[in-house]
Amino acid sequence: MADVARRAGVSMATASRALSDHPHVAAGTRARVLAAAEQLSYVISPEASRLAGGVTGRVAVVVPHISRWFFATLLDGLEQVLREGGLDVLLYHVGDAADRRDFFQRLPARRKVDAVVVLGMPVHDAERDRLELMGVHIVAAGGQVENYPYVSIDDAAAGRQAVDHLIFLGHRRIGMIAAIDPAEPGWPVLPGRTLAYRAALADAGLPAGPELVVTVPWGGLSGADAMARLLSLREPPTAVYAHSDEVALGAMRTLRRAGLRIPEDMSVVGIDDHPMAELADLTTVAQPVLEQGVLAGRMLLELLAGGSGTDGATVPTRLVVRGSTAPPRR
Amino acid sequence: MADVARRAGVSMATASRALSDHPHVAAGTRARVLAAAEQLSYVISPEASRLAGGVTGRVAVVVPHISRWFFATLLDGLEQVLREGGLDVLLYHVGDAADRRDFFQRLPARRKVDAVVVLGMPVHDAERDRLELMGVHIVAAGGQVENYPYVSIDDAAAGRQAVDHLIFLGHRRIGMIAAIDPAEPGWPVLPGRTLAYRAALADAGLPAGPELVVTVPWGGLSGADAMARLLSLREPPTAVYAHSDEVALGAMRTLRRAGLRIPEDMSVVGIDDHPMAELADLTTVAQPVLEQGVLAGRMLLELLAGGSGTDGATVPTRLVVRGSTAPPRR
């Protein structure tokens, strides 16, 4: 289908509409698509296109949190690509470890889908093996995993960008608010973000006292609480690195309520570039979330088309300097 | 299934697991569920449960925006209920009017689903009629629609709560930032929120000069622009009512950048109670978004079980007073 679309100079969606005799396609466009399909010996049959995409024409997308921006945005990008590829998306929310076990046990046995995409959560080796045995492909997006194809940022690199920025500004006493996923307490979601902090401080010869690190469940209000703990230290940090923007925005609320100025009294940097980061003038390390969903979708289409697939893809992050970071007061 | 679960004193999910011989169910629980099923003559067969839920066991959920908090949260609540009811969710993102037309033309003909739930978008009479002819149920959530079952807030009542709060505080010159959905420009998504503003001002005998109303596409940055336009008036308002929290948060950025204090120099109120509203100390009218998704799911399960259904359900909203509103300076 991609080849037909390319040869006809139209989008996959348009090519698909033209081939399925859809009424909203201009006659000229349809003729071009049909000609391209003929040249490429493309078989115009729902059965064939189903087989090309697998058996069911459906992909299960599994998410631990539907309503959180990061997961919903991954889903957005993924759905776009799978729909253009003629695949339907079956959405499964798995709230905790028991839910997840249940999902991986039941889904392949029911033969409901050709593939599973997991967004921002782990899959254990036994689960992956089971899917592969049943002929179900698996791809991950939004999390670094080593044992199956994934799309992700490099958490360690992103963390370095954030902490190195604070060090470059002249901060010497830097706190960290580490966020863990309450739904996956056993999965160190962001070890890279924590390791980056320790490595950056060590490289700069700066102290990394345990009192400067606060670990909380992910969330804005948790970030607010964590900031309060840092402010209660005898010697608070002059800058704080938060594992995510939503956590950082919570930390900023505590600073505001305490009458402290950002960035004059305290610098704050996050990771994500959540839409609210721009509205709050939060300096952050931006990650392309929609793009990770899109790339995971393309990776899956390749696998379903019989391609060998890749081990994984890492998308770059970049520092976005806004108004929440500045050199410390002398 | 609901009756079996109730009689056995377990959740629908547990009852379903017990009946399908799932390994992660305690022996005692399984025995209780099986006894309850026997008493109720529940037929334990996938075929029968498929028939009870319709033909395909699948529901299409159609959303104009996947990654926005409001839509993702509706989807979250809806998915929970449908999954417990043994139905799978097929997710469809429809980006614009052409996409929507395409969706309603193709889906029922393919007989892929038993029902369609639309989240926060209109369905035209012809589209609804077509679905009903094909035996596909339709339910809406997150928008007031009059021609099929829906779950929604009362936009006019929510708007009154916001504007009456500003009037009660003593504001006499009140601006409005009205948000329209760029994906559905023809659908006056929020007429109730606009009508409420005019009605509240009229009831209080206050001026409603056209310069006090700025209409922008939905979004935080649009809210920032709209606030700038209100600040450029010869006589700016002392308080601003925004149609949604994300728009209000954008307006607050403009105020902050202009060096104005919130609420001393300008009060701001929104609608939604977005998670970020709490972090930004934004006064708002809270709507229960997850609950709207849950109720729409229950409404659909009733329809699929052969119930007559209801015309619609309106969930209440409530004012949440935070730090962004106060009486005007004298």
List of chain B residues whose C-beta atoms are within 8 Å of the C-beta of residue A112: 88
* Interatomic CA distance for residues B54 and B37, integer angstroms: 20
CATH 3.30.450.20 correct for B58-153+289-314: no
For residue A222, give the chain B residue with the closest CA. B279
User: Does the pLDDT value for residue A46 go beyond 50?
Assistant: no
Mean pLDDT in chain B? 87
Please report the pLDDT score of residue B126 as a whole number.
82
CATH architecture of A2-44: Orthogonal Bundle (1.10)
pLDDT tens digit sequence for A278-289 = 999 999 999 999
The pLDDT of A295-319, averaged and rounded, is 90
How far from chain centre, in Å, is Cα B72? 9
Chain A residue with Cα closest to B88: A90
Give the number of other CB atoms < 10 A from CB of residue A83: 20
Compare CB distances from B275 to A58, A90, A220 and report the shortest one's residue: A220
Alpha helices in A215-288 (DSSP H): 220-231, 245-257, 275-279
CA dist B164 and B146 (Å) reads 26
Predicted pLDDT at B48: 37
pLDDT over 90, % of chain A: 61
What is the C-alpha to C-alpha distance for residues B122 and A276, in angstroms, rounded to an integer? 28
What is the residue whose two structure tokens read 């370095």? A160
The identity of residue B330, as a single letter, is R
Higher pLDDT, A179 or B110: A179
- pLDDT tens string A73-94: 999 999 999 999 999 999 999 8
Rounded CA gap, A194 and A175, in Å?
11
Assign domain B155-286 to its CATH superfamily. Response regulator (3.40.50.2300)
For residues A25 and A19, what is the distance between their CA atoms, to the nearest angstrom? Answer: 10
A132 or B137: whose pLDDT is higher?
B137
pLDDT at position B149, please? 86
Q: Mind listing the pLDDT tens digit for each residue in A156-171? A: 999 999 999 999 999 9
Per-residue pLDDT band for B53 (boundaries 50, 70, 90) equals very low
Name the residue among A58, A67, A83 with its Cβ closest to that of B69.
Answer: A67
Q: Which residue has the higher pLDDT, A142 or B163?
A: B163
* pLDDT band, very low/low/confident/very high, at B187 (cuts 50, 70, 90): low
- Chain A residue closest to B69 (CA)? A67
> For the purposes of burial, counting CB atoms within 10 Å of the CB of A191, is it exposed (0-12), middle (13-18) or buried (19 or more)?
middle
Instruction: Give B242-277 as a DSSP string.
Output: ESSHHHHHHHHHHHHHTT--TTTT-EEEEEE--HHH
Residue B180 pLDDT greater than 50, yes or no: yes
H helices, E strands: number in chain B: 13, 12
User: Quick check: A116 and A107 in contact, CB under 8 A?
Assistant: yes
Per-residue pLDDT band at B50 (split at 50, 70, 90) = very low
What does the pLDDT read at residue B206? 96
HSE, side-chain direction, 13 A CA sphere, residue A238: 14
What average pLDDT does this structure show over B3-30?
Answer: 73
- The HSE-up count of residue B267 (CA atoms within 13 Å, CB side) is 27
Contacts of B66 in chain A (CB under 8 A): 72-73, 75-76, 79
Indicate the pairing of strand A115-119 with strand A58-63. parallel
**Burial (0-12, 13-18, 19+ Cβ within 10 Å), B33:** buried
pTM of the model: 0.82
CB-CB: which of A83, A90, A105 is closest to B89? A90
Greatest mean pLDDT range, A26-35, A303-312, B173-182, B269-278: B269-278
Would you say B142 and B78 are in contact if contact means Cβ atoms under 8 Å apart? no
Is residue B47 predicted with pLDDT exceeding 60? no
Q: Do domains A2-44 and A58-153+289-314 have the same CATH topology?
A: no
Q: What is the pLDDT of residue B207?
A: 85
pLDDT for res A50: 37
Q: What is the mean pLDDT of residues B65-72?
A: 95
Interface contact flag, A17 B102, Cβ < 8 Å: yes
Mean pLDDT (chain A, rounded):
87
Maximal CA-CA distance, chain B: 76
Could you read off the pLDDT of B209-260 as tens digits, one per residue?
999 999 999 999 999 999 999 999 999 999 999 999 999 999 999 999 999 9
Mean pLDDT calculated for residue range B35-62: 63
Residue in B59, B66, B89 to test binding to A, most A beta-carbons within 10 Å: B66
- The per-residue pLDDT for A43 is 45
Dist. CA B11–CA B18, nearest whole Å: 11
Token pair 């929120």 is at which residue? Answer: B193
- Residues 6 or more apart in contact with residue A5 via CB below 8 angstroms: A11, A12, A14, A15, A33, A36
Nearest residue on chain A to B82, alpha-carbon basis: A92
The domains of chain B are located at 2-44, 58-153+289-314, 155-286
CB distance A284 to A271 below 8 Å: yes
pLDDT in tens, A199-242: 999 999 998 899 999 999 999 999 999 999 999 999 999 999 99
How large is the average pLDDT for residues B121-131? 81
| DSSP result, A63-99 | ES-SSSHHHHHHHHHHHHHHHHTT-EEEEEE--SHHH
- Contact residues for B30 (Cβ-Cβ < 8 A; gap 6+): B18
Give the residues across from A86 on adjacent strands.
Answer: none
Q: Could you tell me which residues are beta bridge partners of residue B140? A: B118, B150
- What pLDDT, on the 0 to 100 scale, is given for residue A53? 44
Residue range B153-171: average pLDDT? 97
> DSSP H helical segments within chain A, as ranges?
2-8, 12-19, 27-39, 46-52, 69-84, 97-110, 125-133, 155-168, 191-204, 220-231, 245-257, 275-279, 289-304
Residue B46 confidence (pLDDT): 39
| Strands A88-93 and B88-93, bridge-based pairing | antiparallel
Does the model's ipTM exceed the 0.85 cut?
A: no
Give the integer Cα–Cα distance in Å for A200 and A204: 6
Report CB contact under 8 Å: B101, A24.
yes
Q: Is the pLDDT of residue B21 over 70?
A: no
